Amino acid sequence: MLRDRIRYRPLMDKLASADEAAAYIKDGMTVGMSGFTRAGEAKAVPLALAERARKDPLKITLLTGASLGNDLDKTLAEAHVLARRMPFQSDPGLRKAINAGEVMFIDQHLSETVEQLRTRQIKPVDIAVIEAVAITEHGGIVPTTSVGNSASFAILADKVIVELNMSQPITLEGLHDIYIPSRRPARMPIPVVTPESRVGLPYISIPPEKIVAVVVSEKHDSSASILPPDDETRAIAGNLTDFLRNEVKQGRLGYELQPLQAGIGTIANSVLHGFIDTPFHDLKMYSEVLQDSTFELFDAGKLTFASGSSITLSADMYQKVLPRLAEYKHQLILRPQEISNHPEVIRRLGLICINTALEFDIYGNVNSTHVGGTHMMNGIGGSGDFARNGFMSIFVTKSVAKNGSISSVVPMVSHVDHTEHDVDILVTEIGLADLRGLAPRERSAVIIANCVHPDYRDALQDYVDRATVRGGQTPHLIEEAFSWHDAVRTRGTMRPA
Amino acid sequence: MLRDRIRYRPLMDKLASADEAAAYIKDGMTVGMSGFTRAGEAKAVPLALAERARKDPLKITLLTGASLGNDLDKTLAEAHVLARRMPFQSDPGLRKAINAGEVMFIDQHLSETVEQLRTRQIKPVDIAVIEAVAITEHGGIVPTTSVGNSASFAILADKVIVELNMSQPITLEGLHDIYIPSRRPARMPIPVVTPESRVGLPYISIPPEKIVAVVVSEKHDSSASILPPDDETRAIAGNLTDFLRNEVKQGRLGYELQPLQAGIGTIANSVLHGFIDTPFHDLKMYSEVLQDSTFELFDAGKLTFASGSSITLSADMYQKVLPRLAEYKHQLILRPQEISNHPEVIRRLGLICINTALEFDIYGNVNSTHVGGTHMMNGIGGSGDFARNGFMSIFVTKSVAKNGSISSVVPMVSHVDHTEHDVDILVTEIGLADLRGLAPRERSAVIIANCVHPDYRDALQDYVDRATVRGGQTPHLIEEAFSWHDAVRTRGTMRPA
């Protein structure tokens, strides 16, 4: 069995325990680990590292694809292993350490991390820890449920630790398409011209002598923590699909639409789920993370192909999909996140991009990351790669949060991740605002009329009316622009006292 | 002479006066005009249109490449011709009308306008008005000193008016490289792989029967209104080139650097000028607008090639360059702004992008457009195309404005055009902040230490210190974040009372 998975024989000599492998990681190192949206992360070595750090403290810079599962970010943060962390996380424990200033978190566009590494604009990766489902006859590393930044980490690091996960089905082999852009100035176009384009190798190719240890593990991926659709998310999906049906009616799109990208999480997943009961057909995805909805759309016959950088499913869906992976395989590709999120490919394919906002403002600026303008939630992830370069940039959110005490639509967002220039469509359960071709004063009228919860509509209109007296392209009362956020800070609610 | 310029004979029958041609433009139309950074705009027809509107009012939506010269935006605004204007302007008269809410201004990334037109996400162009230096044997339109959006306007419009400018030297012919991306879903990679790549035709190819009028004009382009380098801009240039020299020393760049992009205006021009007295050599530009500094660098033997979308020079430089254009021609290409600013090409070539900030904040967010958070200055232009997708994103500004009464570094920018995720390097005459790989709390320390005018340093440090007590990834006192801007509004200065 193990021999079927380690097909490059010399590596049988490198079999090691997690503790032995973790010993290669020294204080002060920069470590690149596999893992993207709780899928395919190295599991045994980081746990061994955290264990060791409790007795023998050390600090590292940890780079991953995106978020890790199995509470690893929490465990590492609690063991005080993390000095620096990039480019994304979504763990409540790590979040706490970040907001306390204990961990320096560098919140990056997900397509950019390996470009910065490759050009040595950030400190190089000393060691890579990559989960694999197999090692090929020539020493190629076959990733598991995500590719993320694993390929570039392995290529750029001096030493590589492979975690061979025996619980991951061997049918994953052949799913991946590993293409790394050539070095400048001799960089050629990335040959991806459709979501289906296969342009690379099905494994990560590195000199196998860089592999210093192979650790066998059995741990499963964590299942996704998404919630099932509720009334609001169903209404958001309905508002968006109604809008897209009208785009078809107007002749601007066909029923096959353009390839879809959808961010991670409950709302985006519910929105995609909402395409099941629509006349759209022959849909394709070119996205980062493939969630439950991807497979629901496959099963409903709506989706013909999905390209992503990871597969992250609920517990039920894992049980359904993993045994049948061979059936889905011809419809799936997993790519490096540099390629799934590459500006070149995003613009070329013309993606319809659906991402989640924490809050947006009356002029169409979006905050995706900072609660109250100061405290990190998860990070920008790939939303900036997609929103800037896609065909259509859509942001979705519920109109209120915390039992209605917080409006998701505010006079001015307290942190900007997506500027007014990058936002085409805003959707809440109340309705949809189509901002394309509108000036800021026109946008505020459409947003207030269509997206705002009735409890906050008059207050926002009053703000706009008073601001407009002062004039400007984007009228504001600068001394009052954050009064809603300040009310939350001091009184816990945006509702008038 | 005219026969040498109108080489497609049937068009001799379409010769018309500016008034006759302008009569094709009707109330409510969307008009696409040539012109990019005061270069190559149609000159006679818009003037005739403004003249007519004074007697017979009409309103249009005006699309251009970027800003217009010859006070055209002012004249059109004063004649109340403009209902809507996109994607950029830089005229004080139009700015006034925009901020008064009289003209709806849609401030867009310059690469995106024609994508939105092509996919009919914004209203189609009814008529195009394009300045040309010649019409070829087959009816191809040869642009003058800019390409901008002219090619797509001519391709997408039903009717085209050509303004044949006899004062523009015929040596401009052969300078342009007109490549239009193929329609999705059959879009292939854009084959530009170096600044020198020629991938299209030297003229705009449309069915010549779409040309309804040819107007002969003699008006010159306006010269650029840039100021010569002063002590501060020289210091900014020195800080930036010192930094780049250190990048070479560290082995991260060679002395030929990466291709350079520089925004329009006095500061960016001065910074490029500053490369003359440095050891850098064999530089290339892949930019939007080619200014005086481009030709100074050619003459100094520093620059080997420059690709742009327009040439905008000072009066002196026009007199020097235009007669010698044939000598420079092998080192120059003018492209559609969709290609000069295309995310695909920007990322592939790995541009060093130098753009001007109006203000930036202690965490690295940049405001390029809105004075006091409300009033439009010029527009974002191409800076967002470049900053998001380039190899290195640099923003430059003087540390103070208005005789020191306004600090260009503030607790929080009053409008965000470039988010913290998109800003690598900040430069003022005081010094340079290298933000690569830094978390927000680390960025504020570097920015305050290196970029802030001494008069404001203590106040910013005090803000950070008090904000940090409250915690967060990006510490702020949300109720005080705009107090500096509010002081300008109420007291005209950021200096303490």
Per the CB < 8 Å rule, is B344 touching A349? no
Cα distance from A447 to chain B (closest Cα, Å)? 16
Name the residue facing B474 among A185, A187, A374 (closest C-beta). A374
Check A473 against B120: CB less than 8 A apart.
no
Q: What percent of chain B has pLDDT over 90?
A: 97
Rounded Cα–Cα distance for residues A302 and A272 (Å): 11
Gap from B24 CA to chain A (nearest CA, Å): 24
Residues 351..380 of A with a Cβ closer than 8 Å to B: which?
A: 365, 369-370, 372-376, 380
In this prediction, residue B225 carries a pLDDT of: 80
pLDDT of residue B157: 98
The pLDDT, as a whole number, for residue A496 is 84
CA angle A260, A266, A272 (to 5 degrees): 30
Give the span between the Cα atoms of B299 and B314, in whole angstroms.
16
Residues of B belonging to the active site: 288
Kindly identify which residue of chain B lies nearest to residue A191, measuring between CA atoms. B189
Nearest Cα of chain B lies from the Cα of A294 at a distance, in angstroms, of: 21
Does the beta-carbon distance from A482 to B479 stay under 8 Å?
Answer: yes
Which of B347, B417, B418 comes nearest A344 by C-beta?
B347
Is the pLDDT assigned to residue B1 strictly greater than 90? Answer: no
DSSP-H helix ranges across A23-112: 44-55, 72-78, 92-99
- Greatest Cα pair distance in chain B: 76
Shortest distance between the Cα of B394 and any Cα of chain A, in A, equals: 14
pTM to 2 decimals?
0.98
| Contacting residues of B for A422, CB less than 8 Å apart | 109, 384
Q: What is the mean pLDDT of residues B171-194?
A: 96
Q: In the prediction, which pLDDT does B126 show?
A: 98
Contact A90, A266 (CB under 8 A): no
Q: What is the pLDDT of residue B228?
A: 85
Q: Tell me the C-alpha distance between A376 and A305, whole Å.
A: 34
Look at B388 and A391 and tell me if their CB atoms are within 8 Å.
no
Catalytic residues of A: 288
Residue A85, SS3? strand
Q: Strand B406-407 relative to strand B400-401: parallel, antiparallel, unpaired?
A: antiparallel
Q: What is the dihedral of CA A351, A354, A357, A362, to 10 degrees?
A: 70
A residues 434..493 contacting B (CB < 8 A): 436-439, 441-442, 467-468, 470-476, 478-479, 481-482, 485-486, 489
Residue of A nearest to B345 (CA): A344
**B interface mutation test: which of A348, A361, A444, A466 has the most B CBs within 10 A?**
A348
| Residue B63: both structure tokens together | 């699309």
Could you tell me how many CB contacts below 8 A there are between chain A and chain B? 246
Whether residue B439 and residue A470 make contact (CB cut-off 8 A), yes or no, is: no
Are A105 and B473 inside 8 Å of each other by CB?
Answer: yes
- Residue A195's SS3 state is coil
Sign of CA pseudo-dihedral B145, B148, B154, B159: negative
Q: What is the DSSP letter of A119?
A: T
Write the pLDDT tens digit of every residue in B60-73.
999 999 999 999 99
Q: What is the CA radius of gyration of chain B?
A: 23
Q: Which residues in chain B have Cβ-Cβ distances shorter than 8 Å to A187?
A: 193, 348-350
Nearest Cβ partner for A472 among B99, B119, B419: B99
Chain A: give the shortest CA distance to residue B320, in Å: 33
For residue A126, CA distances in Å to A60, A123, A387 come to 10, 9, 33
For residue B496, the model assigns a pLDDT of 84
Q: Does B185 touch chain A (CB under 8 A)?
A: yes
Q: Write out chain A residues lying below 8 Å of B346, CB-based.
A: 343
pLDDT digits (tens, 9 = 90+) for B350-373: 999 999 999 999 999 999 999 999
- Which of A283, A361, A419 is the best mutation test for B, with the most CBs of B within 10 A? A419
Position B497 pLDDT exceeds 80: no
* Cα of B372 vs its chain's centroid, Å: 22
- The rounded distance, in Å, linking the Cα atoms of A262 and A239 is 16
Distance CA B272, CA B295 (A): 10
Contact B414 A478 (CB under 8 A): yes
The pLDDT value given to residue A327: 95
Does B257 contact chain A (CB < 8 Å)? Answer: no
pLDDT of residue A225: 80
Residue with tokens 């790995």: B350
pLDDT of chain A, 497 residues: tens digit per residue: 899 999 999 999 999 999 999 999 999 999 999 999 999 999 999 999 999 999 999 999 999 999 999 999 999 999 999 999 999 999 999 999 999 999 999 999 999 999 999 999 999 999 999 999 999 999 999 999 999 999 999 999 999 999 999 999 999 999 999 999 999 988 999 999 999 999 999 999 999 999 999 999 999 999 988 888 899 999 999 999 999 999 999 999 999 999 999 998 889 999 999 999 999 999 999 999 999 999 999 999 999 999 999 999 999 999 999 999 999 999 999 999 999 999 999 999 999 999 999 999 999 999 999 999 999 999 999 999 999 999 999 999 999 999 999 999 999 999 999 999 999 999 999 999 999 999 999 999 999 999 999 999 999 999 999 999 999 999 999 999 999 999 999 999 999 87
Could you give the ipTM of this predicted complex? 0.97
Q: Which residues of chain A does B436 touch, with a Cβ-Cβ cutoff of 8 Å?
A: 116, 121-122
User: Residue-wise over B88-105: b if at least 16 C-beta within 10 A, else e?
Assistant: bbbbeebbbbbbebebbb
| B187·A193 Cβ contact <8 A | yes
- Candidates A260, A473, A489, A491, partner chain B, best to mutate (most B CBs within 10 A): A473
Give the pLDDT confidence score for residue A226 in this predicted structure: 83
* Neighboring chain B residues of A391 at a CB cutoff of 8 Å: 115, 119, 184
Residues of chain B contacting A258 with CB distance shorter than 8 Å:
184-185
Q: Is A107 on the interface with B (CB under 8 A)?
A: yes
What residues in A contact B473, CB-CB < 8 Å? 98-99, 105, 107, 369-370, 374-376
Nearest CA among B292, B386, B289 for reference residue B347: B386
Query: 3-state SS string over chain B?
Result: CHHHHECCHHHHHHEECHHHHHCCCCCCCEEEECCECCECCCCHHHHHHHHHHHHCCCCEEEECCCCCCCCHHHHHHHCCCEEEEECCCCCHHHHHHHHCCCCEECCCCCCCHHHHHHCCCCCCCCEEEEEEEEECCCCCEEECCECECHHHHHHHCCEEEEEEECCCCHHHCCCECECCCCCCCCCCCCCCCCCCCCCCECCECCCHHHEEEEEEECCCCCCCCCCCCCHHHHHHHHHHHHHHHHHHHCCCCCCCCCCEEECCCHHHHHHHHCCCCCCCCCEEEECCEECHHHHHHHHCCCEEEEEECEECCCHHHHHHHHHHHHHHHHHEEECEHHHHCCHHHHHHHCCEEEEECCEEECCCCEECCEECCCEECCCCCCHHHHHHHCCEEEEECCCEEHHHCEECEECCCCCCCECHHHCCEEECCCCEEECCCCCHHHHHHHHHHHCCCHHHHHHHHHHHHHHHCCCCCCCCCCCCCCHHHHHHHHHCCCCCC
Q: What is the mean pLDDT of residues B245-261?
A: 98
Residue located via tokens 């492998």 = A21
Chain A positions touching B438 (Cβ under 8 A) are 104, 106
Element (H, E) at A32: strand A30-33
With contacts defined as CB-CB under 8 Å, which chain A residues touch B123?
Answer: 437
Measured between beta carbons, the chain B residues lying within 8 angstroms of A123 are 437
How much of chain B, in percent, has pLDDT values that exceed 70? Answer: 100
Distance from CA of B206 to the nearest CA of A (A): 23
8 Å CB contact of A421 and B419: no
Cβ under 8 Å to B: A residues 16-75? none
Is the model's pLDDT at B144 over the cut of 80?
yes
A304–chain B Cβ distance below 8 A for any pair? no
